[in-house]
Amino acid sequence: MRKFICSLLLGFCLIFPINAQESPPAVQYETAQEKATAGDYDGAISILRYLTTAYPDNYEYQLYLARVYSWNKEYPEAIGVLESLMKGKEYNRELMETMVSVQLWAGNNEEVIRYSDIALEQENNNFYRIQKANALISQKQEDKALDALEEVLSVEPDNQEALYLQSEILKKKSQHLSLSYLNTSFSQPGSAPRHMGYLEYKRNLGAVPVLARFKYGHLNGEAGGLFEVDAYPKVSSNSYLFLSAGAALDTPIFPEFKAGAEYFYAFNKGLGFSVGGRYLQFEEDEVLMFTGEASYYTRNNMKLSYRPYFSETEEKWFLSHALALRLMNPLKESFWQLDLQYGSIPYGFYTLRDFKDLSAFRIGLQHQFRLPGNILIQPVVMYEYEEYLPSEFRNRFNAQLITTLRF
């Protein structure tokens, strides 16, 4: 019996080394993958370095070692492994994609561009155009980056990464010119249409966005202009101010002087609020207005906002309400907005005679979209069922087009 047990143990001892020599590479590679997944990059690298030394011709071990090096931010080591794999080999997509990614993470922008160009000579792959655009952005070559992104979007118009990078570049433009025209017409009973337009210029003075605007209007046979300046100084990372002042030319259409201020604050959970006021001094009267806004941004890029207007003129107080629902596409800088309003404050308030103890129901729709060349187009339509005399109503139609060129 004792001899039998000894013989059995001897057999196990003879068999085990053979199995140990056959199974360790696969088992150890799996262990390295588990360690890398768990974030133990040093442990994974230790195993992979042994495997690549013991099995120098195993492409999979070496490529995974390069990846783990890069995850551990050991970029020179990762690049060294990848370069050795590329020597004397035919073009390999997996290997090239890894090289471009690692070079980008390492901040080697020239190498990203060089390897991307080499890859694009071999295959038409938008992955390399996007990585090349990332490198060009880091080098502050935004125009060349936009060219690369346009190539991507011409084939894949909904490529999320390309759209995001394109929007981020375009939004960096700190100056813009805007041109707007607003037509207001009436029916039942009808009257002469009203016309108003403005030209606006925006640029940053230091870190403060400032807008200068000239409005021109023609209403009821009278015409005139108004100069306005708006500023948006930042108060904190979550808040900013709106400051405004304006003065009219010798005209009864616009206020002789106007001023406004409002404080905006955004909470971390999509909630926001503001509070402020406006003052308008006309030839024969003045208007004092208090306003504010409560808003909520949802995770699916929807904004719901409510803004009341509490105004006083001729020693009378009027209350108006404005509710807006906006659906946004941040990647394309576009939105659709539904407006619902009720009260005495007219759409685009600008004349004294429109502040009265009469109300209007309003519903409107506006849309913004971006054209090539960094041009934003925003059409607005607003229908009003307004009380123009006590208990007498008529239709008012507002149509506005705003065109903005950023540069």
Tell me which of 19 and 129 has the higher pLDDT: 129
Tell me which of 121 and 16 has the higher pLDDT: 121
Please tell me the distance from the alpha carbon of residue 4 to that of residue 8, in angstroms, as a whole number.
Answer: 6
Q: What six digits make up the tokens of 68?
A: 């783990």
Q: Using 50, 70 and 90 to split pLDDT, how confident is the model at 269?
A: confident
**Per-residue model confidence (pLDDT) at position 351:** 61
Q: What's the whole-number average pLDDT of the chain?
A: 90
pLDDT at 406 over 70: yes
pLDDT at 3 over 80: no
Among 26-30, 291-295, 338-342, the range scoring the smallest mean pLDDT is: 26-30
**Per-residue model confidence (pLDDT) at position 348:** 65
pLDDT at 21 over 60: no
Q: What is the mean pLDDT of residues 198-215?
A: 96
Tell me which of 23 and 407 has the higher pLDDT: 407
Q: What is the mean pLDDT of residues 317-323?
A: 91
pLDDT at 8 over 70: no
Could you report the per-residue pLDDT of 284-295, keeping only the tens digit for each?
A: 888 899 999 999
Q: What is the mean pLDDT of residues 190-201?
A: 94
Q: Using 50, 70 and 90 to split pLDDT, how confident is the model at 34?
A: very high
**Per-residue model confidence (pLDDT) at position 350:** 58
Ramachandran class of 350: left when φ > 0, alpha when ψ lies in -120 to 50, beta otherwise: alpha
Could you report the per-residue pLDDT of 40-82, keeping only the tens digit for each?
A: 999 999 999 999 999 999 999 999 999 999 999 999 999 999 9
Q: Range(s) for CATH 2.40.160.40 in the chain? A: 176-406
pLDDT at 124 over 70: yes
pLDDT at 7 over 60: no
- pTM, two decimal places: 0.79
Tell me which of 198 and 316 has the higher pLDDT: 198
pLDDT at 15 over 50: no
Q: Using 50, 70 and 90 to split pLDDT, how confident is the model at 353?
A: low
CATH of domain 176-406: 2.40.160.40
Architecture of the domain spanning 19-171: Alpha Horseshoe (1.25)
Maximum distance among all Cα pairs of the chain, rounded to whole angstroms:
123
Q: Using 50, 70 and 90 to split pLDDT, how confident is the model at 17?
A: very low
Please tell me the distance from the alpha carbon of residue 122 to that of residue 102, in angstroms, as a whole number.
Answer: 20
Using CA atoms in the order 386, 391, 392, 396, what is the torsion angle rounded to 10 degrees? 0
Q: What is the mean pLDDT of residues 262-270?
A: 93
> How far out from the chain centre does Cα 136 lie?
20
Of 115, 153, 155, 142, nearest to 131 by C-alpha is 115
**Omega of the bond leading into 189 within 30 degrees of 0 (cis):** yes
Of 307, 308, 316, 248, nearest to 287 by C-alpha is 316
Contact 170, 180 (CB under 8 A): no
**Per-residue model confidence (pLDDT) at position 359:** 83
Q: What is the mean pLDDT of residues 182-208?
A: 94
Q: Using 50, 70 and 90 to split pLDDT, how confident is the model at 354?
A: low
Of 289, 320, 318, 322, nearest to 306 by C-alpha is 322
Of 361, 399, 362, 394, nearest to 380 by C-alpha is 399
Q: Range(s) for CATH 1.25.40.10 in the chain? A: 19-171
